[in-house]
């Protein structure tokens, strides 16, 4: 069962291990500059809806341990924009930066009839997807004013998505 997206080959833990074995300091990844990189939609980025509560809980536990923010990605496998957003997050040029800054958890809302309580916990009512929430490890939503800004992922460049995430990540 996959509870949240991870990028094992490019993870923070791998970087820390590399730093420990080489003596090098783990340098922060700069915001990727990918321009109009070709993005491939992910076929099924969302696990079963019933997996979401545990996935969210695990993501916040990991965020508290690592100091990263949680990126809650509310969507569904039938949604083209959701699948493209997942493709951006997992793109090889973007994934290391995402993994360094966020614990990503995909929350399957099915046909707007599952996991609505998770969004409501953060003061959000989902009417369209994808909805991306950037949340501090202690539960403060940093982009409540802009939850649907990645909703047209199919028409956005990969750089526009990254830039928006970087903007939200700077908030505290």
Q: What is the CATH classification number for the domain harbouring 120?
A: 3.40.30.10
Under the banding of pLDDT at 50, 70 and 90, the label for residue 35 is: confident
pLDDT at 29 over 90: no
CA nearest to 125, candidates 147, 152, 151, 149: 147
How does residue 15 score in pLDDT terms, banded at 50, 70 and 90? very low
157 domain-assigned: yes
Q: Is the confidence at residue 76, as pLDDT, over 50?
A: yes
- pLDDT > 90: percent of the chain: 78
- Is the pLDDT at 24 greater than 70? The verdict is no
Check whether 1 has a pLDDT greater than 90. no
Instruction: Name 36's Cβ contacts closer than 8 Å, sequence gap at least 6.
Output: 157, 158, 159
* Residue 40 maps to a domain: no
Element (H, E) at 160: helix 158-170
Residue 3 lies in a domain: no
Asked, for residue 18, whether it belongs to a domain, the answer is: no
Asked, for residue 2, whether it belongs to a domain, the answer is no
What are 114's two structure tokens?
Answer: 């599952």
pLDDT value at position 32?
Answer: 86
The C-alpha atoms of residue 130 and residue 149 are separated, in whole angstroms, by: 9
Tokens standing for residue 64: 């508290």
- How far apart, in Å, do the first and last CA atoms of the chain sit? 32
pLDDT of 23 higher than 70? no
- Work out how many domains the chain is built from and give that number: 1
C-alpha span between 118 and 128 (Å, rounded) = 15
Angle in degrees, CA 69, 71, 73, rounded to 5? 170
Name the percent of the chain in helix, strand, coil, to the closest 5. 45, 10, 45
122 domain residue, yes or no: yes
The pLDDT tens digits of the residues spanning 97-130 come to 999 999 999 999 999 999 999 999 999 999 999 9
Residue 159 sits in which domain range?
A: 49-170
Is residue 19 predicted with pLDDT exceeding 60? no
Task: Count CB neighbours of 128 within 10 A.
Answer: 13
Say if residues 105 and 69 touch (Cβ distance below 8 Å): no
What's residue 7's pLDDT? Answer: 36
Residue 157's pLDDT is 95
- 9-13, 53-57, 70-74, 75-79, range with the lowest pLDDT: 9-13
Which of 25-34, 73-82, 119-128, 138-147 comes out lowest in average pLDDT? 25-34
Phi, psi (deg, nearest 5) at residue 134: -105, 120
Q: Please check whether residue 21 lies inside any domain of the structure.
A: no
Q: Tell me whether residue 20 is in a domain.
A: no
């Amino acid at each position: 069962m996959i509870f949240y997206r991870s990028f094992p080959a490019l993870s923070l833990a791998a970087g820390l291990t590399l730093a420990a074995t080489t003596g090098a300091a783990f340098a922060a990844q700069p915001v990727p500059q990918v321009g109009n990189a070709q993005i491939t939609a992910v076929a099924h980025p969302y696990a079963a809806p019933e997996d979401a509560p545990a996935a969210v809980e695990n993501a916040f536990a990991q965020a508290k341990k690592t100091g990263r923010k949680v990126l809650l990605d509310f969507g569904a496998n039938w949604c083209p924009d959701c699948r493209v957003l997942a493709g951006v997050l997992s793109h090889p040029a973007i994934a290391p930066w995402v993994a360094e800054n966020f614990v990503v958890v995909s929350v399957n809302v099915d046909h707007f009839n599952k996991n609505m309580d998770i969004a409501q916990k953060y003061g959000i009512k989902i009417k369209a997807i994808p909805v991306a929430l950037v949340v501090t490890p202690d539960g403060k939503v940093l982009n409540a004013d802009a939850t649907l800004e990645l909703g047209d992922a199919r028409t956005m460049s990969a750089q526009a998505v990254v830039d928006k995430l970087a903007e939200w990540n700077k908030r505290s």
